[in-house]
Amino acid sequence: MINQIIKCFTRSSPPKKIKYDIEVMNHFYIKGRRRLAQHWQRRILYKYGCDIEPGVKIHPSCVFPHPIGITLGKNVVIGENVKIHQNVTIGSSPFKSGKDSMPKVKNNVTIFAGAVIAGDLIVGQGAVIGANAVVSKDVPIETTVVPARPTTII
């Protein structure tokens, strides 16, 4: 039985393995084993190249197609069927601190490469955050957020 689990784990792709490591890290964090949680956090950082704090709440159906560069702050809540691409930062605003200053990402959201979601806000269900977008306000349901184009002055 254990050999089948090990074979299945070794044959799975990195996006599936990272979810397992996040679950183990959060298990230690919830049980009060802070040093073991920090060990798993460093393991995730070195192995996959993403910084995920202990205490983040990620639904098991969340997908990381390319986990390199992803940064998730403590107490971030991510819903079902969320797809997070590389170099995405989700965390608190530098001007606010505390448990309530973290974003909440609802179900069926897609966040493309390089996006930043910062502050106490809610990303509505079915929203799409475009590449390199900076989100600092609430995003309504079924909305697409893209970065503003700079105007050129001639």
Q: What gap in Å lies between CA 72 and CA 78, rounded to an integer?
A: 10
Give the domain CATH number at 14.
Answer: 2.160.10.10
The reply to whether 11 falls in a domain is yes
Nearest to 21 by CA among 53, 51, 43, 6: 43
The residue-averaged pLDDT of 131-152 equals 85
Name the nearest CA neighbour of 75 among 139, 120, 133: 120
Please tell me the distance from the alpha carbon of residue 29 to that of residue 50, in angstroms, as a whole number. Answer: 18
In a domain, 151, yes or no: no
pLDDT of residue 95: 64
- pLDDT at residue number 107: 95
Q: Token pair for residue 83?
A: 């797809």
Model pLDDT for residues 143-154, shown as the tens digit of each residue: 999 987 665 556
User: Mean pLDDT throughout 21-45?
Assistant: 92
Of the chain, the end-to-end C-alpha distance in Å amounts to 69
Q: pTM score > 0.85 for this model? A: no
In this prediction, what percent of the chain has a pLDDT beyond 70?
82
Q: What is the pLDDT of residue 147?
A: 87
The answer to whether position 25 is within a domain reads: yes
